[in-house]
Amino acid sequence: MALPLALFLLTYVLLLLLPKYRAYVALVSAALFVILGILPVGRVFFAVDWNVIMMIAGTMGVVSLFIESKMPSLLADLIIAKMPNVKWAIISLSLFASVISAFIDNVATVLMVAPVALTISKKLNISPVKSIIVIAISSNLQGAATLVGDTTSILLGGHAGMDFLDFFFYRGKPGLFWVVQFGAVMATLVLLWVFRKEKQTIETFDRTVVEDYFPTALLLGTILLLILASFIPEDRKPAITNGLICVGLMVIGIIRDIIRKRSIEPLKKTIQEIDYFTLLLLAGLFIIIGGITEAGVVDEISKLFVKVSGNNVFLMYTLLVWASVLFSAFIDNIPYVATMLPVTGGIAGMMGIDPTLFYFGLISGATLGGNLTPIGASANITGLGILRREGYNVSAKDFMKISVPFTLAAVTSGYVLIWLLWR
């Protein structure tokens, strides 16, 4: 017990201290778990959730094709054309970022929507700082809304056996999607107050031209097939069904582009867009978690949480939500959620309750907590990087003037609603 625990804690410390090398840290640690005999060699392959890995890789590929088609830019242009002033333009862009981030990676969402905000700001000769911050934090908001919204949602789906539709309605009750939307409404009210003085009118600008609508069909097809797959009983479909759907449609998109352009460049470009760093990190973490589970460490951590809470369900739920918010404000939520999901399940088992309440609390806190600070989420870092290239250096104080009330509104409302629905 002592050796696996020590190795796990060392791994986590190194993940925090060496963010640029997280994937390598996880893989080396995973190798040590196997070499030291903590996790038997025969269980290594099965410790990795290949459905999750394939879903993430396939979705990344489809999204890269979708972005390349310029459809997101066209959608943003159409929205802006209908807005009367800057306030509503920024609110509409934040809502647009929220909606597409429910199906597309958060960083990709920022990269797609931020240029529109920059264009508006330049035409009106106003600072783009507030609008870019809003787009970044809004893109994080909807990560927990759907199965493909964020890596943490995919991790939850894999761990709890949840399909696409389960995020909308789960066991006869409203799922995470509706919790997130309630939080989004509360957060939008905060934004309306923040931008109450931004009333400059907007002139329409040239509309983006989309020449290829097939990537859009691919993305919609991915969502549709994931929905259809959710109707198939678990015992009648392969465990990697969702992963096969995502990878399969990515392959179709690549092959079509190769034939259409008579070049292998589309293949090279799509492969380059896949975040192998995250995939390797997850693979390593799955093996590590398999090792500490095998050694009984997960059970011991679960016992500690139960002891701290005094076996009080509400106290435990509150601890999970707000601890997740706090941790995710400073560290990457992927390793945190990957580690805590089995712990959370263990806690629920020891307390003799359905784990759904704790799962949903964990995901909502971990997904939204990253919005508190400039370094809490990759989307935040990306947005501030865009501003830096434009000559705007944003302080943590200026960022948090918007992010803190936005996040607290979203988290608090979600925290209350989840408890009322799933206690």
310-324 pLDDT, tens digit per residue, is 889 999 999 999 988
416: confidence class by pLDDT, cuts 50, 70, 90: very high
| The pLDDT of residue 181 | 92
> How many Å separate Cα 419 from the centre of its chain?
22
Distance (Å) of CA 117 to CA 95, 102, 200, 283: 13, 20, 14, 37
| The pLDDT of residue 123 | 67
| The pLDDT of residue 306 | 82
Instruction: Please give the backbone phi and psi of residue 162, each rounded to the nearest 5 degrees, phi first.
Output: -95, 135
Instruction: Please give the backbone phi and psi of residue 85, each rounded to the nearest 5 degrees, phi first.
Output: -155, 180
The residues spanned by each domain of the chain are 2-422
pLDDT at 131 > cutoff 80: yes
69-103 pLDDT, tens digit per residue, is 888 778 777 777 777 877 888 888 888 888 888 88
Q: Could you write out the three-class secondary structure of the chain?
A: CHHHHHHHHHHHHHHHHCHHHHHHHHHHHHHHHHHCCCCCHHHHHHHCCHHHHHHHHHHHHHHHHHHHCCHHHHHHHHHHCCCCEHHHHHHHHHHHHHHHHCCCCHHHHHHHHHHHHHHHHHHHCCCCHHHHHHHHHHHHHHHHCCCCCCHHHHHHHHHHCCCHHHHCEECCEECHHHHHHHHHHHHHHHHHHHCCCCCCECCCCCCCCCCCCHHHHHHHHHHHHHHHHCCCCHHHCCCCHHHHHHHHHHHHHHHHHHHHHCCCHHHHHHHHHCCHHHHHHHHHHHHHHHHHHHCCHHHHHHHHHHHHHCCCHHHHHHHHHHHHHHHHCCCCHHHHHHHHHHHHHHHHHHHCCCCHHHHHHHHHHHHHHCCCCCCCCHHHHHHHHHHHHCCCCCCHHHHHHHHHHHHHHHHHHHHHHHHHHHC
> For the chain, what is the radius of gyration of the CA atoms?
22
314-370 pLDDT, tens digit per residue, is 999 999 999 889 888 876 677 788 888 998 999 999 899 999 999 999 999 988 888
Most confident of 4-18, 35-49, 257-271: 35-49
Q: What's the CA gap between 316 and 362, in Å, rounded? A: 11
- Selected residue with higher pLDDT from 289 and 30: 30
Contact 317, 360 (CB under 8 A): no
| The pLDDT of residue 355 | 93
207: confidence class by pLDDT, cuts 50, 70, 90: confident
Taking all residues of the chain, what is their mean pLDDT, rounded to a whole number?
Answer: 85
| The pLDDT of residue 272 | 81
b/e code 141-155 from CB counts within 10 Å (16+ = b) = bbbbbbbbbbbbbbb
Q: Which of 167, 149, 155, 158 is nearest to 240 (CA)?
A: 158
| The pLDDT of residue 15 | 79
- Selected residue with higher pLDDT from 110 and 175: 175
In this prediction, what percent of the chain has a pLDDT beyond 90? 22
| The pLDDT of residue 59 | 81
258-316 pLDDT, tens digit per residue, is 888 888 887 888 888 787 887 888 888 889 888 888 888 777 777 887 888 788 999 99
43-61 pLDDT, tens digit per residue, is 889 888 898 788 878 888 8
pLDDT at 28 > cutoff 80: yes
| The pLDDT of residue 133 | 92
Name the least confident of 123-132, 151-160, 251-260. Answer: 123-132
362-394 pLDDT, tens digit per residue, is 999 988 888 888 877 778 877 888 888 788 888
pTM: 0.78
Farthest CA pair distance, the chain: 66
235: confidence class by pLDDT, cuts 50, 70, 90: confident
* Assigned token pair, 15: 């993940």
Contact 348, 340 (CB under 8 A): no
Q: What's the CA gap between 390 and 270, in Å, rounded? A: 28
